[in-house]
Structure 1
Amino acid sequence: MKKIVLFIPFFLFALDLNYLLNKPKSYVRDFYLTEFMKETNSIVLAYKAYNALYKKRPFLHLRILSKKSPIFKEIYRCVNVKKEYLREVDISCILNNGLSLRTISKLNNSDLLYLYKNLKDGKVKSAVFSFLNNDFSNIFKDRDLGYYFILNYPNKKIDQEIKDFSIFEDKYFYQFVKSAVLNDLVLIRMSLSKNLNYKRMNDKVKWWLFLNEMKFKNYEKAKKILKSIKKKTSKEYFWLWKLTKKDFYLNKLLNNPRINFYTLFAHEEKNIPFDIKTNIVFNSIKKPKYDQTNPWDVLKFWNEFRKRKDLFKFAKELDSNKSIALKALVLDKAYHYRKNIFITPNFYDDKNISFKAFVYAIARQESRFIPASVSRSYALGTMQMMPFLVRSMKGDIFNQFDYKENIYLGVKHLKWLFNKLKNPLMVSYAYNGGIGFVKRKVLPKFKYKGKFEPFLSMELVKYDESREYGKKVIANYIIYSHIFGDKNITLHKLLNIN
């Protein structure tokens, strides 16, 4: 990769860029710097903004720079090598992981041979050799090569019997097992079942070994693995209850004061209501310390929140409808997460209580109702709208910290998703991972019939974030339905559980 040195005279600095550079390093600042990079016509200022980023995202930021300068176009092509320009880039790009295994799998023999002749020895060259010869038998005999494939190209082509997993048994081994289970690599899964001693594995590995046995319908072994997990959460107790039907495990769920997907289901089984707190604000503060609609103020709040010890006192300093979301977060921690605080800020109303409850369920999960939220992927506002989605709906990218516009766009997107998918759980997954992800990776494998369905399918949703997101949103949805007056909506009805 070429080293770039740019001379940037002080007088070229734009005033708005100077303003941003004086703000604390954060994802908030990165969002604004990214937008500045897109809008400025000066490659010098764009590069200045790029250098100031808190967390660079090469595929995004170098792509922006590549549209402004031929030099950066070359660099971007180097970190994102495509088969169309494979022979035009420096071969060192490939050594720096610029070429994905998925792209390598699509190359013809001529390009594969070119790579093999020019690459230095290492896992990338070994991978190319496997594709060149269509022989993947040796990849799990080398630790680095094995992880390289299982995590980046968990394709059926690499599926094979493995008699000895010892070279992979490190702190990342759970990812190996998870990849084999989620991608249904049957021969590797059978090898895990036959050739691995689960008793000496850590809890993370055991969980995925448990799911592996569940997929094989080896329920007795699955139960043994689950029982051997040392630090059990409501998830493990739920599955032990489902497998054994013993009240001991059900009571573990009922005695957990924190509401979640699993404990909510248990409470519904026994018709026991949860203790939910909705009213936490008495407006004793006329001008709260932090403005929750100002992203820079929210940053200051988080900084103080991490340091404060007297959390109940801190919560009183935020006792205003203007800072209700911030107060809810502080109280949650002050109560050691043993209270179920579900605030209802007045930002959306709908005669359809079910849909209104779903909007609140999404908003709670996305931002905890903080209007000035910015994620590491630059999702914005209460509903965490992605910039590309805001633009596609003709929204103002810089007006997303206002409840009104952000909720309007979020609701519009949700209605579109419901029109396509109908099912609230599928809409939850799609809101997080995209409708394409749901259609390609979720719906084809999702089952509503079977002894442990749909719970097992929910545990096997491919993306970690989407998997847990769906459970949390659906639990929120039930709770807000009840808060807004519709107690007919339950997990049991939603999931078709008799």
Structure 2
Amino acid sequence: MRLIFLFFPLFLFSLNLSELLTHPKSYVRDFYLTQFMRETNSTVLAFKAYNSMYKQKPFKHLKILAQKSPLFKNIYQCVNVKPEYVKDVDISCVLNNGLSLKTMSKLNKKDLQYLYNKLPPSKEKEAVYAFLHNDFSNVFKSRDLGYYFIINYPDKKIDQKITDFSLFEDRYFYLFVKYAVLNNLPEIEKSLLSLNYKNFDDRVKWWLFINALKNSKDKLAKKILYTINRKTSKIYFWMWQLGNKAAKEKLLENPRVNFYTLYAYESVNKKFFIKNKIIYNSVKKPKYNQYNPWDVLKFWDELKRRENLFSFAKELDSNKSIALKAIVLDKAFKYKYNIYITPKMYNDENVSFKAFVYAIARQESRFIPASVSRSYALGTMQLMPFLVRDYHSDVFEQFNYTENVKLGAKHLKWLFSKLHDPLMVAYAYNGGIGFLKNKVLSYFKYKGKYQPFLSMELVPYDESREYGKKVIANFIIYSHIFGDNNITLHKELKR
């Protein structure tokens, strides 16, 4: 293979690649290496970039390599086995998670029979048997097969009464319970109601609590909730919703504003204290420039090691590092205060929309212009490269407020034109409008005793679930900062 590669023009792009490789391994470097792979005409250099990555993403990176050379086509097909070439790949690809259960469910009988004959004894072979015979009764007779299905294919087909959960009662049991509850598997949910909740840790108890609440077992839900050891704002909030007035007082005593405390504050007209002016520009050249992604990497590294955080904050007292200083101060004050900065990044006559842009920016990046996420979301508004290209912009121009926030605001306006509700827009911004329509909206159609709070706890993905709460709280706070005190969490949740 290497002998063939030698005929490619090795000199192309090599200087740029060499420069990239001088930087420490990180998601920032991986982003640049990915862009290099897309743009170079040299397969050998693209492969070198791939091998130099901090965290390779086979679906993304092998696909790029496969488009550049047929030599990588088989490798890419192995990590992403599609129905049309299930007979072309080595059977080891199926055994190494190359074939998803969702794809397996779409295979015809001939392909399923082919796989069944080829596969050695394994959970994959048992899964093929289940789809081949449309018989899922044995899914939860094996620990490995049970987890394989509940996490990767929590479809109604696998829903069944379970009398013995002992096979699954390990440190991952919370995943079993969570996926059963989030994916509406009523037979399994009913089975979970009979578990002795006292035997489990807080994570399992939380989902058993949600399961009981979802199935209108309020008394059981209350018993489970009170056995949870770590009492967070979320736990006190639900204790309050279930009738405990003392729990409400606990929320009111908490100076840190979040979704749960904010709702309690509003219920008694208590004002929340916000600090949004923290820059005095005493430093002409800050230690780290927030517009430089490599500087931001160094900042995060030093933040982990630095002991005197107030001294560190002084070194960042500049408009070029306001977002970094805010993060340092938040940690220095041990998150007891509410620091909501307002960098000059966006303006709009519509105060409500302006507040929402700031709410998203705070949650996405804490206003750091040169942010790069694990998925290569870019800039203040954390825009995905494909979205940037859809808006005919340059991915390398996203590390300043102007271009990135302009595109983010444009995308938000489009989402509001379709959805209108800030909370729904937040979910869609985080997971996509398809995710919202397919996975979220169905929960919010129901009107019940604990709505919309119960629906918010049932949003499928952990990140999206908490994201919605944080953004809507940010929205209320920034609305007040920008002068609109009429917008409240109580009003927004009645939409």
Normalising to structure 2: TM-score of the pair? 0.98
- Which residue pairs with 2:299 in the alignment? 301
- Which residue pairs with 1:319 in the alignment? 317
Structure 1 pair 12–417 and aligned structure 2 pair: CA distance change class (3 A): closer
| Aligned mate of 1:362, from 360, 363, 366 | 360
- Which residue pairs with 2:18 in the alignment? 18
Structure 1 pair 4–113 and aligned structure 2 pair: CA distance change class (3 A): farther
- Which residue pairs with 2:133 in the alignment? 133
- Which residue pairs with 1:76 in the alignment? 76
Q: Note if contact 1:116-1:125 (Cα within 8 Å) is conserved in structure 2.
A: yes
Taking the aligned partners of 1:233 and 1:406, their CA distance within structure 2 comes to 35
Query: 1:199-210, aligned counterparts within 5 Å?
Result: 199-210=198-209
Taking the aligned partners of 1:249 and 1:444, their CA distance within structure 2 comes to 30
What stretches of structure 2 of length at least 5 have no aligned partner?
Answer: none
Q: Say which SS state the counterpart of residue 277 (structure 1) adopts.
A: coil
Taking the aligned partners of 1:177 and 1:5, their CA distance within structure 2 comes to 52
Taking the aligned partners of 1:470 and 1:359, their CA distance within structure 2 comes to 14
Partner AA of 2:218 in structure 1: Y
Q: Note if contact 1:447-1:457 (Cα within 8 Å) is conserved in structure 2.
A: no
Runs of 4+ in 1 over 3 A off after TM superposition: 2-13
CA shift for structure 1 position 449: 2.2
Structure 1 pair 10–412 and aligned structure 2 pair: CA distance change class (3 A): closer
Query: 1:5-154, aligned counterparts within 5 Å?
Result: 14-154=14-154
Query: 1:451-466, aligned counterparts within 5 Å?
Result: 451-466=449-464
Taking the aligned partners of 1:89 and 1:4, their CA distance within structure 2 comes to 25
Partner AA of 1:446 in structure 2: F
- Which residue pairs with 2:242 in the alignment? 243
- Which residue pairs with 2:428 in the alignment? 430
- Which residue pairs with 1:161 in the alignment? 161
Taking the aligned partners of 1:275 and 1:13, their CA distance within structure 2 comes to 53
Query: 1:194-343, aligned counterparts within 5 Å?
Result: 194=194, 196-244=195-243, 246-343=244-341
The sequence identity of aligned pairs, in percent, is 69
Q: Note if contact 1:288-1:322 (Cα within 8 Å) is conserved in structure 2.
A: yes
Normalising to structure 1: TM-score of the pair? 0.97
CA shift for structure 1 position 247: 2.2
Taking the aligned partners of 1:365 and 1:291, their CA distance within structure 2 comes to 20
| Aligned mate of 1:486, from 480, 484, 487 | 484
CA shift for structure 1 position 441: 1.0
- Which residue pairs with 1:420 in the alignment? 418
CA shift for structure 1 position 402: 1.3
Partner AA of 1:366 in structure 2: E
Q: Note if contact 1:62-1:76 (Cα within 8 Å) is conserved in structure 2.
A: yes
Q: Note if contact 1:223-1:243 (Cα within 8 Å) is conserved in structure 2.
A: yes
CA shift for structure 1 position 4: 11
Structure 1 pair 31–222 and aligned structure 2 pair: CA distance change class (3 A): same
CA shift for structure 1 position 257: 1.5
Q: Deviations over 1:168-222 (max 9, x none)?
A: 011111010000001110111111112x110111100000001101111110110
Q: Say which SS state the counterpart of residue 446 (structure 1) adopts.
A: helix
- Which residue pairs with 1:397 in the alignment? 395
Partner AA of 2:155 in structure 1: N
CA shift for structure 1 position 287: 1.1
Q: Note if contact 1:447-1:454 (Cα within 8 Å) is conserved in structure 2.
A: no
Q: Say which SS state the counterpart of residue 345 (structure 1) adopts.
A: coil
Q: Note if contact 2:10-2:42 (Cα within 8 Å) is conserved in structure 1.
A: no
Taking the aligned partners of 1:31 and 1:415, their CA distance within structure 2 comes to 27
Partner AA of 1:490 in structure 2: T
Partner AA of 1:166 in structure 2: S
Q: Say which SS state the counterpart of residue 451 (structure 2) adopts.
A: coil
Partner AA of 1:50 in structure 2: Y
Structure 1 pair 345–12 and aligned structure 2 pair: CA distance change class (3 A): closer
Q: Deviations over 1:385-416 (max 9, x none)?
A: 10000000001111000111001100000000
Taking the aligned partners of 2:12 and 2:422, their CA distance within structure 1 comes to 51
Q: Say which SS state the counterpart of residue 322 (structure 1) adopts.
A: coil
Taking the aligned partners of 2:218 and 2:325, their CA distance within structure 1 comes to 45
Taking the aligned partners of 1:4 and 1:482, their CA distance within structure 2 comes to 65
Structure 1 pair 220–354 and aligned structure 2 pair: CA distance change class (3 A): same
Q: Note if contact 2:9-2:42 (Cα within 8 Å) is conserved in structure 1.
A: no
Q: Note if contact 2:12-2:42 (Cα within 8 Å) is conserved in structure 1.
A: no
CA shift for structure 1 position 12: 6.3
Taking the aligned partners of 1:352 and 1:12, their CA distance within structure 2 comes to 49
Q: Note if contact 2:79-2:98 (Cα within 8 Å) is conserved in structure 1.
A: yes
Taking the aligned partners of 1:250 and 1:4, their CA distance within structure 2 comes to 71
CA shift for structure 1 position 11: 5.5
CA shift for structure 1 position 9: 9.9
Partner AA of 2:353 in structure 1: F
CA shift for structure 1 position 348: 0.7
CA shift for structure 1 position 72: 0.6
CA shift for structure 1 position 92: 1.2
Q: CA RMSD in A?
A: 1.5
Taking the aligned partners of 1:402 and 1:133, their CA distance within structure 2 comes to 56
Structure 1 pair 3–147 and aligned structure 2 pair: CA distance change class (3 A): farther
Structure 1 pair 62–260 and aligned structure 2 pair: CA distance change class (3 A): same
Q: Say which SS state the counterpart of residue 453 (structure 1) adopts.
A: coil
Q: Say which SS state the counterpart of residue 193 (structure 2) adopts.
A: helix
Q: Note if contact 1:447-1:453 (Cα within 8 Å) is conserved in structure 2.
A: no
Taking the aligned partners of 2:111 and 2:58, their CA distance within structure 1 comes to 25
Taking the aligned partners of 1:109 and 1:12, their CA distance within structure 2 comes to 49
Structure 1 pair 354–11 and aligned structure 2 pair: CA distance change class (3 A): closer
Partner AA of 1:287 in structure 2: K
Q: Note if contact 2:154-2:180 (Cα within 8 Å) is conserved in structure 1.
A: yes
Partner AA of 1:73 in structure 2: K
Taking the aligned partners of 1:436 and 1:311, their CA distance within structure 2 comes to 42
Taking the aligned partners of 2:374 and 2:451, their CA distance within structure 1 comes to 34
State how many pairs are aligned. 494
Taking the aligned partners of 2:270 and 2:413, their CA distance within structure 1 comes to 32
